[in-house]
Structure 1
Amino acid sequence: MAMSGGSDDGEPMMEMNTTPLIDVMLVLLIMFIITIPIQTHAVKVDLPQPSDQPQNTVEPDKNKVIISPEGAITWNGQPINEVQLRQYLDQTVRMNPQPELHFQPDPQARYNRVDEVLAIIKRANVTKMGFVGNEQYRNDF
């Protein structure tokens, strides 16, 4: 069966040819996509400004590391992360005499988190360290 433009009797085809309309529509669609402006999203963030006074967060006689039940680390009452903890520990190791490090994990803190912090302390070669706050649990066992 061959395709013919009309019937066998020579009458003209009454259907509309939609191929040129589809071609025009695709060209217009591509032009529309090209002319759309690029969206730029800006997020304004207020960054902390450096202060003129250096903050000395490492005490010369003793420092306290606390692990909360959620696993957050605090150094002398200020929340810190693992990198800052290592920096503070390196500062204390260089001090002469080396200050004491008081380590107080919360009893509800995950053991895995406490172990990670103890590993950071061990890698920093801290020699004066003690567990504080454990005396309140001596009658529990």
Structure 2
Amino acid sequence: MAFSSNNDSGGVMAEINVTPLVDVMLVLLIIFMITTPLMTDKVKIELPDKSMLEKPKEEPARIALAVKSNGELYFNDQPVMRQTLEQQLRIEARREPQPLLEIRADRTTEYRVLSDIMGIAKTSGMKKIGFATHPEK
């Protein structure tokens, strides 16, 4: 309650103090002025054309490289030596588009052997290297 100092009667003043209300409104106005431009930013999305949807997708060529636990290598189900493997991978790396190299290994194959094979593939220029696994039965 506020008391009037200039009134002779010294009674209660019936006016509302609007200063705190104005302060709160100004703070809210500033907050909305700052946040509104942030909400209007748009992300540009390019939707596919109908012609792009109708094209049949060709599955990329795949090379199967099987690695046995004893170190034997099979390039597309054909036995191959490490020296020959590097030459064949260099030839395949030059193809356009480059085929996917799928490495299939036994459960007991050591990581050192797989690391060597991946190193050979990388130095040969293969960029797409993956691992093929069989689901548990």
- Tell me the residue number matched to 1:25: none
- Taking structure 1 as the reference length, the TM-score comes to 0.50
- SS of 1:109's equivalent in the other structure is coil
User: Which structure shows the bigger proportion of residues in helix conformation?
Assistant: 2
- Tell me the residue number matched to 2:105: 105
- Tell me the residue number matched to 2:123: 123
TM-fit CA distance, 1:129: 1.5
Hey, which bits of structure 1, 4+ residues long, moved more than 6 A?
none
2:92 paired with 1:92: yes
Once residues 125 and 95 of structure 1 are traced to their aligned partners in structure 2, the CA distance between those partners, rounded to angstroms, is: 11
TM-fit CA distance, 1:80: 0.7
List per-residue Cα deviations over 1:105-130 (Å, max 9, x = no partner): 11111222111111101111211221
TM-fit CA distance, 1:65: 0.5
- SS of 2:101's equivalent in the other structure is strand
| Amino acid corresponding to residue 132 of structure 1 in structure 2 | A
Once residues 128 and 98 of structure 2 are traced to their aligned partners in structure 1, the CA distance between those partners, rounded to angstroms, is: 7
Once residues 61 and 74 of structure 1 are traced to their aligned partners in structure 2, the CA distance between those partners, rounded to angstroms, is: 17
- Tell me the residue number matched to 2:64: 64
TM-fit CA distance, 1:136: 2.4
- Tell me the residue number matched to 1:136: 135
Query: 5+ residue gaps in structure 2?
Result: 1-59
Superposition CA RMSD, Å: 1.9
| Amino acid corresponding to residue 104 of structure 1 in structure 2 | R
Once residues 87 and 105 of structure 1 are traced to their aligned partners in structure 2, the CA distance between those partners, rounded to angstroms, is: 21
- SS of 1:65's equivalent in the other structure is strand
- Taking structure 2 as the reference length, the TM-score comes to 0.52
Identity %: 26
TM-fit CA distance, 1:70: 1.2
| Amino acid corresponding to residue 135 of structure 2 in structure 1 | Q
